[in-house]
Amino acid sequence: MVSKEQITAVSNGLLVRAPAKINLSLLVAGKRPDGFHEIETVMAKVDFYDEILIEQGPKGRIELVCNGLYPSPPGKENLVYQAAKLLLNSSGELADIKITLTKNVPAGAGLGSASSDAAATLIGINQYLDFGLPNRQLAKLAKQLGSDVAFFLDGPLAFCTGKGEKIKKLAKKFNFLAMLILPNVSVSTKKVYANYRHNQPLYEKLNTQINGYIQKNRIDLVSKMCVNMLETSCFSLYKELAELKGEIESLGIGPLCLSGSGSAMFCMMDGTDEERAGENARKLKQQVGCKSIIVKNNRW
């Protein structure tokens, strides 16, 4: 996929791209007093995007139009609408905005698509209406919308803790090529966390190893561990994903890692051999019939 800029001026407004993310690692540290789980995850944006067109809309309201390959909730239920409303209310502006959301990234896949859409909406409206708000102010709004939203406001790689809202940007660039597997399965993050059974000794062992690699700027070694402590919970609920992983790995393409709470999985490709990666994707399509795309790390 060709690398693109996040914001493009078009004749009738701004086109904003909302990148998907993958979790290069995901540890669960335990359950918090508020009922949520404490996580530690290395997240990386990839060059696979939803698109948000922002333009002049009907007087005094926000109009949201949803289209694309995948369904998205309409109106006030959509995080894009909520992000627009929150930003406009905080600035004291009346809403005269039309937003067209084109869904290319599936929801319920562990790719952060709704969170990324919300962040892209904050970024886009901030520029379209010349608010000039710095990222730190947008981040405060982002935290009200969801745990992952703030991650998408900044650089392409970060170490995220808490519920995912505490973000430490990783300055070291990590270039990669990956095959992203997109099963036709929508996973409930809530159910996966509710089904999770904590393994403290395993967490402590992985935490020590991963933090050691991060301190040495060896994100490549983090990704090679292929660690996601939600995988067991996800696969026990969605057994077809466990079967799919085994079937794909039997082709010899490489180990598959679960992204987020699933259902998407990814396989890191050696080097930057896009031709070989494409051959693997065709092999997967022919022998398994599962949809996949080749992605790279996003630049922004």
**How far is C-alpha 213 from the geometric centre of its chain's CA atoms?**
22
Distance CA 239, CA 233 (A): 10
For residue 164, which amino acid is it? G
Distance CA 233, CA 113 (A): 21
Three-state SS for the chain is CCCCCCEEEECCEEEEEEEEEEEEEEEEEEECCCCCEEEEEEEEEEEEEEEEEEEECCCCEEEEEEEECCCCCCHHHCHHHHHHHHHHHHHCCCCEEEEEEEECCCCCCCCCHHHHHHHHHHHHHHHHCCCCCCHHHHHHHHHHHCCCHHHHHCCCEEEEECCCCEEEECCCCCCCEEEEECCCCCCCHHHHHHHCCCCHHHHHHHHHHHHHHHHCCCHHHHHHHCEECCHHHHHHHCHHHHHHHHHHHCCCCCCCEECCCCCCEEEEECCCCHHHHHHHHHHHHHHCCCCEEEEEECCC
Residues annotated catalytic, as ranges: 21, 148
* Residue 280 in tokens: 């693997």
User: How many C-beta atoms lie closer than 10 Å to residue 238's C-beta?
Assistant: 21
∠ CA 249-267-270, nearest 5°, is 110
